Amino acid sequence: MSDAINGLLNDAANNAASVLGESGGEVSEALMKMFGQQDNPFVMLLQGLKSGELTNEDYQTELEREKQVLEGQLVTLEIVVLSEAQKAVNALMSSLTSAATAAL
């Protein structure tokens, strides 16, 4: 990946993180991990546009499609995180209930 494209992706991930505030660092890391993939679709789209293989219209269409894919991945990640948080809450409530029952 060229340094210019790498810098562009890094800036984009940092901008996305800044919108989120405190939780942005983790999101930025996750985005950079996705961007760092060998077959990164964003890199391939940028290279296709630069080489003339894609028209600007094709590039915009494909970029929108990739945005939807990324949003789907983030929703999946959100579901996983919520599931893990629910497990922790359930374990906490179970422990509190057991402790309260034993104390009575």
pLDDT in tens, 3-42: 676 676 667 766 666 666 666 666 667 666 666 655 678 8
Residues comprising the chain, all counted: 104
CA distance 3 to 23: 27
Q: What pTM, to 2 d.p., does this model score? A: 0.57
CA distance 92 to 28: 30
Its sign, for the CA torsion 94, 96, 97, 98, is positive
Look at residue 71 and tell me whether its pLDDT is greater than 80: yes
Contact in structure between 43 and 5 (CB atoms under 8 Å): yes
Residue 52's pLDDT band, with cuts at 50, 70 and 90, is very high
